[in-house]
Structures are given as C-alpha cells and as structure tokens.
Amino acid sequence: MRALALLAFLVMAAPVQASGRLTCRADDEHVILTASGRVGPGRAGAITGFDAELALKEPGLPADLARAQFRGADLFDRWVMDGEVRLRLYRERESGPYGSIDVIMTASREGAPPGEPNGTYAVDLASGEAEGLPEGVERLIEGPVLCALESAP
C-alpha cells in the first residue's frame, strides 16, 4: 500500500501530456476494476496495449456480464490531458439476448491525497431476458477509483 501511495504521489506530480503507463483501480463492495495501457506523447494521447478487467460483486447478475475483459477495441473514448483522465469502455454481448456494459472512469490529480482515490467510476449494466432472468437486468453502480500516470523514462 505504501508503494502504491508513493507511486500515486510521484505520478500525480508528472505532467499528464507526457508519455507513460496509465493505471486505474477500484476495489470496493461493488466491483473490482483494473485498467492499464501506455499513453503516447502529444495532445492526442493515444492509448496502446490497453487492457481492463471488471468483476461485479453483486449476486444475481448474468455471469457473462458480471465478469468482463476489455481490450483496446472496447476503449470507446478517452481523455488524458491537463491533469485529467477520462476513460469510457463499452461492449455488448456477442450472442443471445441483448446485454451491454458501459464503464466510465474519471480522475484528476488535483485534490486527492497520494494513494487515495482521485476519481469515480460508473458501471452501467443492461441485459435483456435470459435464462433465470425473465425480466432482464439493469444496474448502475458507482464508486471511487484511483488512476495514476507513471511517466516514461
């Protein structure tokens, strides 16, 4: 935990436009959410090698949506600039009844003590009728997230 606090402190002091490794993590009573990728230099801030995992802890959710992996193609929108990080992940169920997961993470290096959450996440899950869930499911789950950008050497 001390290493994470030190890393967050060092990272938040670095300019956000610099290239480096972006990491975000949330672990509370509702979710375990991790995301990481390399942020390119410049104002465009392209993110490569993006990888994220989501595990929802609420019982009774469709298994294929309660645990999900995201890759670069699922990174619907992103903003990494001027001390702010905003990521939006989106994917739909590949077959069967309609189902989707929409994840938004926002964070800022301003105002949060090192190692403490510096932003929020929102997970919007929707599922049509499925076996065992005749009326479908819709949930909006929100909580704190910690994002950091480690500058490249």
Taking only the tens place, the pLDDT of each residue in 25-69 is 999 999 999 999 998 876 666 889 999 999 999 888 888 889 999
CA atoms within 13 A on the CB side of 84: 8
Cα separation, 77 vs 64, in Å, equals 23
The CA-CA-CA angle for residues 85, 116, 88, to 5°, reads 25
* Residues making up the chain, counted from first to last: 153
Q: Using the 8-state DSSP alphabet, how is residue 133 labeled?
A: B
Residue 8 host element (H or E) = helix 2-13
If we measure between CA atoms, which residue out of 49, 46, 45 comes closest to residue 35? 49
Quote the pLDDT of residue 2. 36
| Residue 112, number of CB atoms within 10 A of its CB | 17
Cα separation, 40 vs 135, in Å, equals 44
> Residue 11: pLDDT above 80?
no
Quote the pLDDT of residue 130. 59
> Residue 153: pLDDT above 90?
no
What is the reported pTM? 0.79
Quote the pLDDT of residue 83. 78
Among 36-45, 65-74, 107-116, top mean pLDDT goes to 65-74
> Residue 5: pLDDT above 50?
no
If we measure between CA atoms, which residue out of 122, 127, 124, 123 comes closest to residue 61? 127
* Residue 52 and residue 33 in contact, taking contact as beta carbons nearer than 8 Å: yes
